[in-house]
Structure 1
Amino acid sequence: MPPLRRAIAAAILVPLALALAACLFLPGKFQSTLTIHADRSFAYSYTGEVVAIDLTGAMTKAVSGMADAAEDGSATPSDEATDAAEDPAKKDAEYRELAEQVRKEAGYKTVEYRGNGVFYVDYALSGRLTHNFLFPYNQDAGMVFPFLAVELRGKDGVRIKAPGFAKSEGKGAMGTGDDAIAKLDGSFTLITDAEIVSQNNEDGATTVPGGKSITWKVNSQTDDAPMAVLRVAGL
């Protein structure tokens, strides 16, 4: 690699390596339901696809292409960048091992790796909201971008936001997640008998046995992440 291109690539890769995990996980085709009761009991389920993006390989290609362009005006990725990309068979083996690890965690009834970076997940967990809840979140597995975040606000507030269930410029860093974002297709339903302080679904809530229900249909064109604020029993 010529000195100039090596220096440019290093200058770009170092901060990216610090800022990004090895993989980015995004929802594919799915159904998800969150039930929160006024007494703070809750249940959450996610059934469907989780799509993994290999950021290491994708960013190596992108950065090497940028370095080539800076040196000779060409945006064509170099052979070195192609060689640096992960071998597909090796990456599949890593993903199968990851599926085995995640399957051991509470809530995961099924975790299957189905190839091409796609996992099938059947997850269900219940409890009481005395602390924040994130799904998925596993530092060891690199799952650090949650699809859903339930945050406690003050003594009796609960804020629900599902950043994974919407498109986002941040997800497709330098275009690396564009294909995965295109696979986003599902529904997220909130069921509650607590007071709904605010929510961002244009259709609003519908009455169901025991409370209210809000369903967000999401796909690759969804701009706004599902969001709601509830008032529940105080701690």
Structure 2
Amino acid sequence: MGKLFTPRTLAAAGVAASSLLLSGCLLTPGAFTSELTLSKGGAFTFTYDGEIAAMGLSDLARMGSNKEFAAECYDDDFEETECTAAETAEQKAEWEAEQAKDKAEKEQFVQMMGGLDPADPESAQKLADSLSKQAGFRSVSHKGNGVYDVDFAVSGQMTHGFVFPMVEKMPTMSPFVVAIPRGDGSIRIEAPGFGGNDSMVDPSLAMMMGMASKQAGGDAPKAVLPDGTFTIRTDGRILANNTDDGPAEAGGMQVLRWEVTSGSKIAPTALIALD
């Protein structure tokens, strides 16, 4: 008789998925429309209207956790068989080790989320309340499972770097958009949250979440995938950009536009002189 798979296989998937969440993006874009307007002299306006997902706020609490241990063994014909004492002991030891690791992962997650506990049913609303207090967030509503509808708009002078999103008490994990002024009067814009393999949601994460949900006895957290547009409008000089078609003219402004999907391989970038 052989053991083809056991509960620890699914538990390990939960731990691996939570590890990816902790090491990758905690905030990801969903369906959205975003625009950055840059004017000569340095005036700018940035807007983001759409979804932001805080990965795993509610469902991560269940992933990789079995409340009760139960050994399972299968033979080469995928038929369930009775486990030997040695097999049961081995599985229990591995299950306990995975439980301890999962607990440590969740504690780390809470710290990275500024003290928001994914096991706390009020965490999602706490994050919405925190965002609502920040300048620029005109409205924030929780849709469920850590997905928020956000209406953000801010205007100012590009005298210093700009990053979106930034959340009070949380580290900036792969921001959606970054604008950095240079000493020569140009502005470099990068949108790592809108493209590139390192910033987008790995499809394998959704698969591992699904495996973990079977073990956890619930529905898996659904990975929210990017689906939107990012537009830059400017009356400055476009020195470089990585759009497919280059700038277009509209209303006396030059317009750069990127379609953003889960398959976007390159993060939008542009370099614009505002002198």
TM-score if structure 2 supplies the norm length?
Answer: 0.64
Structure 2 residue aligned with 1:67: none
Question: 1:20, CA displacement in angstroms?
Answer: 4.2
1:13-28 pair list within 5 angstroms = 20=22, 24-28=26-30
Following superposition of structure 1 onto structure 2, how do residues 121-160 of structure 1 map, counting pairs within 5 Å?
Answer: 121-160=150-189
Matches within 5 A, 1:177-188: 179-180=222-223, 183-188=225-230
After superposition, the Cα gap between the structure-2 partners of 1:99 and 1:23, relative to the gap in structure 1 and judged at 3 Å, is farther
Question: Residues 97-112 of structure 1 correspond to what in structure 2 (within 5 A)?
Answer: 97-112=126-141
Q: Distance in 2 between matches of 1:22 and 1:198?
A: 28
Contact persistence 1:22–1:54 (CA under 8 A): no
Residue identity (%):
33
Q: Deviations over 1:32-91 (max 9, x none)?
A: 010001210000000000011138948x849xxxxxxxxx999xx9476498597x9845
Q: Please give the residue correspondences for 1:16-165 in structure 2 after superposition, counting only pairs within 5 Å.
A: 20=22, 24-54=26-56, 57=60, 61=64, 78=95, 81=99, 84=103, 90-165=119-194
Higher RCO (C-alpha 8 Å, min separation 6): 2
Structure 1 residue runs of 5 or longer lacking an equivalent are: 63-71
In 1, Cα distance between equivalents of 2:234 and 2:25: 34
Structure whose CA Rg is larger: 2
Alignment correspondent of 1:65: none
After superposition, the C-alpha distances for 1:186-206 in whole angstroms (9 at most, x for unaligned) are 000100000000000011111
- For 2:140 and 2:52, the matched residues in 1 are separated by 10
Matched, 1:214 2:256: yes
Contact map agreement 2:235 2:253 (CA 8 A) in 1:
yes
Change in CA separation of 1:35 and 1:22 when aligned onto 2, cut-off 3 Å: closer
Q: How far, CA to CA, are the matches of 2:163 and 2:204 in structure 1?
A: 26
TM-score, structure 1 as length reference: 0.74
Q: How much has 1:229 moved relative to structure 2? A: 0.2
Structure 1 distance, partners of 2:193, 2:25, is: 15
Name the structure 1 match of 2:195.
Answer: 166
1:189 paired to 2:221: no
Do the aligned partners of 2:24 and 2:173 also contact (CA within 8 Å) in 1? no
CA distance in 2, matches of 1:170, 1:48: 18
How many angstroms apart in 2 are the aligned matches of 1:172 and 1:29?
14
Deviation at 1:167, TM superposition (A): 4.5
CA RMSD of aligned residues (A): 3.9
- Give the match's secondary structure for 1:114: strand
CA gap of 1:32–1:168, structure 2 versus 1, over 3 A, is same
Give the counterpart letter for 1:198 in structure 2.
A
Larger fraction in strand: 1
- C-alpha contact 1:189 1:216 (8 A) present in aligned 2: yes
Aligned-partner Cα distance in 1 for 2:203–2:182: 34
Change (3 A) 1:141 1:22: farther
Residue deviations 1:74-124 (CA, integer Å, cap 9, x gap) = 9xx9476498597x9845411111110110110000111111110110000
Corresponding residue of 2:213:
none
